[in-house]
Structure 1
């Protein structure tokens, strides 16, 4: 058993505010000393509604990121026990009530990197750390990770793409994934592959060449895959990316998921494997469960049908 089977304490977190200020090519962003990732929330969470009889598993909405990571860790362990090979974990990093874009892009990614480190420390036992390979979108980010949040860690850090001479125009150098993988690798974690459209195509290559028909597992962590699911990328211009909804995504289990909806009919779509998909309404400091089902509803269905009618 290469995963921890009992709850463990969170590893000491490297705060963004403790890092040396520097201008960083990683995502062409500037790392600022005074930036801090908010970790504390004051609201109390509760949930109402019937449990899915066929599942019999119920998890409340997390009250903070500490509880979130424990839930995500336990959900992943259950999915691994059920031999799920391709998994997705998705949640906001600028606050549990935030949506993509609420935080500055580079800060959100740094927050994701920090949360990935904590998640890996919870999930992977020390004896298996060297058999866990974490892929970041670009080679520059690997260097940043080693010098900061992943400093001293035994995990193998790697990248999906390399910057090219025309990086400022969105071009990157293709990396052959078969060359990045080592025979001893058992678990791959892919960190936020959404900035460049080519990154998810490389993830598909990784799955096909190094995971499919093997005993290895792959987790996509905060990949914003809803962009592809919702048709954000027009199939006419991005046919390969759009095709992932029919080729790669059906093989994937979403083991942990939070998506917030703002506005008058705001709410949350939530799932913790193996439980049902739930739609919550925020009422003051409480989250009430309005609807649940076993399959993932589309974001359009939640926004236009479920939340307004509740």
Structure 2
């Protein structure tokens, strides 16, 4: 079995944290990453399609990051049991109610790295740890990751190497077939969104090392909504835009949180194998105002679903 039944042990002792800008790392003292108000109890209620019956949902919105990781672990276990090979986990790291842009980019990447460590610790059994390869966007980040993952037997790897033209968006391509080993069983790719080439390399990893094998691949906080929403113009980034027709349709989003702020604010939430739900917070409780089996577009949630709720 790949999965473990470990419990999560989070320390309140200050940890070493690195704020980075891809080209350098700076160490600062910080308190433990895990945030959230543990004294708040969130209750999620879902509304039936007829709109006249409310029932308590099996998976409520997480109360903090400890709860979130437990939910993501369970969703991953169920997806693996169902034979899913390509999976996505996406949630904000600047706070459970934060939106993209609330946190500084380097901090968000560092937070994701630490959360990946905690997630893998509770997901992967010790005997399977050496068959788990964790990819970070570039080689420089693996150097710091070895500190974050100190004592863990996971294999740490990278998608790209920095080049002289890195500031212009260029990096040295790494051939994925040369990076993996025959005994690898699970790949986890952390936040491949800073450089547009990173997700293209992820597609190569999937095609060369996952397809037609029993291996699994999880993309962790890859900000794939940038690709889904056309943030990168297809005229300038044709290979990246093509992922909406090649890689993304093959993917199962197993855990997802996206917040919307403003007068019609709310949250798009999914925990596999449950439906996609649009939540609205009233006081300290979350209520479901809409649910469906397929992922709605962010535009649909913001302009149609939430204003009508």
**What does 1:268-279 correspond to in 2, within 5 Å?**
268-279=267-278
| 2:46 is equivalent to residue 46 of structure 1 | no
Separation of aligned partners in 2, 1:14 and 1:130? 28
Match of 2:69 in 1: 69
Separation of aligned partners in 1, 2:22 and 2:90? 21
Match of 2:232 in 1: 233
Separation of aligned partners in 1, 2:186 and 2:242? 25
With normalisation by structure 1, the TM-score equals: 0.92
Q: Indicate conservation of the 8 Å contact 1:30/1:106, yes or no.
A: no
| 2:93 is equivalent to residue 93 of structure 1 | yes
Q: Which 4+ stretches in 1 moved above 3 angstroms?
A: 11-15, 23-31, 50-53
Match of 1:132 in 2: 132
Deviations 1:179-198 (A, max 9, x none): 00000000000000000000
In structure 2, the gaps of 5 or more residues are: 51-55
Q: Is the alpha carbon distance of 1:20 and 1:196 closer, same or farther for their aligned partners in structure 2, counting shifts above 3 Å?
A: closer
In structure 1, the gaps of 5 or more residues are: none
| 2:105 is equivalent to residue 105 of structure 1 | yes
Displacement of 1:104: 1.2
Q: Indicate conservation of the 8 Å contact 2:133/2:154, yes or no.
A: yes
Separation of aligned partners in 1, 2:87 and 2:243? 14
Q: Indicate conservation of the 8 Å contact 1:46/1:288, yes or no.
A: yes
Q: Is the alpha carbon distance of 1:98 and 1:44 closer, same or farther for their aligned partners in structure 2, counting shifts above 3 Å?
A: same
Q: Indicate conservation of the 8 Å contact 1:11/1:122, yes or no.
A: no
**What does 1:138-217 correspond to in 2, within 5 Å?**
138-147=138-147, 149-217=148-216
Q: Indicate conservation of the 8 Å contact 1:38/1:94, yes or no.
A: no
* 1:97 match: secondary structure: coil
Q: Is the alpha carbon distance of 1:9 and 1:104 closer, same or farther for their aligned partners in structure 2, counting shifts above 3 Å?
A: same
**What is the aligned residue count?**
303
Displacement of 1:78: 0.2
With normalisation by structure 2, the TM-score equals: 0.93
* 2:232 match: secondary structure: coil
* 1:246 match: secondary structure: coil
Q: Indicate conservation of the 8 Å contact 1:99/1:259, yes or no.
A: yes
Root-mean-square deviation (CA), in Å? 2.1
**Which has the larger displacement, 193-202 or 169-178?**
169-178
| 2:121 is equivalent to residue 121 of structure 1 | yes
Match of 2:249 in 1: 250
Deviations 1:69-103 (A, max 9, x none): 00000000000000000000000001000112211
Deviations 1:200-243 (A, max 9, x none): 00000000000001000000000000000000001111111011
